[in-house]
Copies of this chain bind each other. A is one copy, B any other.
Amino acid sequence: MKNKFLAIYGDIEAKIKSGDIKPDTLLPSEHELTDLYHTSRETIRKALHLLSQNGYIQKVRGKGSVVIDINKFDFPVSGLVSFKELAQKMDEPPKTIVSKLQLRKPDQFVRQQLNLSSKEHVWEVIRVREINGQKIILDKDYLAQQFVPHLTEVICADSIYNYLENELGLTISFAKKEIVVEEPTEEDELLLDLDGFHNVVIIKNYVYLDDASLFQYTESRHRPDKFRFVDFARRIH
């Protein structure tokens, strides 16, 4: 890590995670940390700001920075959670089945979601995620071709994100998410083991790149019993 404030953030994060710094105690003061890390106070404050944003500490004016009890929660991987990250917590290795992969003209819905003209093409990828032998998640991805010229079944069976970030050098910056519950479509019934469930949980994702361009729309359709979402919301004053 070349950034000083990130290094300090990582150092303190590790100490909190390992229990080296106990929950409900105070961190050393910003002034002390300034000396400890041989840096300026603003740099310390940047690191503490990050810790606060990610739910590790809560800063209290006039008192100090309180360490929050992290073990009370199954802590989320903040930000986007991909299927791969999810699956790593499972006992059995998960399986991805690529059900459809084609380059096509966007229909009106997708065109609208991605701000495209009708001339531009999109990749449509439909994948089924199987965990412990059960088909539980249906992922429908739409990627603007202008950003992703080629796509193969092998890439889709592994991780599209990996390919985008490591091979194409695209950097995903942020996503806007919407979660709703609907009745299953025929497609859901066909491709998933719905097992008698009458609803699916749909996570709609609008994914942006580093340069603020919107390039992907994703729907992740989950069987309700296997769905779980964790969020950390800081109130705006």
Contact = CB atoms under 8 A, between A and B. Distances in A.
Interface string A43-54: 000000000001
B174 A233 contact: yes
Given A173-B58, A211-B63, A212-B60, A79 B178 contact: no
A163 interface: no
A68 to B, nearest CB: 6
B58 A236 contact: no
A37 interface: no
A231 B234 contact: no
A228 B80 contact: no
A148 interface: no
Contacts of A72: 115, 206, 214
A155 interface: no
Nearest to A227: B181
A179 interface: yes
A226 to B, nearest CB: 9
Given A58-B212, A198-B199, A212-B66, A235 B181 contact: no
Nearest to A180: B228
Interface string A1-36: 000000000000000000000001000000000000
Contacts of A58: 173-174, 208, 211-212
Interface in A67-111: 68-69, 72-74, 78-80
B181 A224 contact: yes
A197 B198 CA distance: 8
Given A60-B212, A72-B206, A235 B80 contact: yes
Nearest to A74: B178
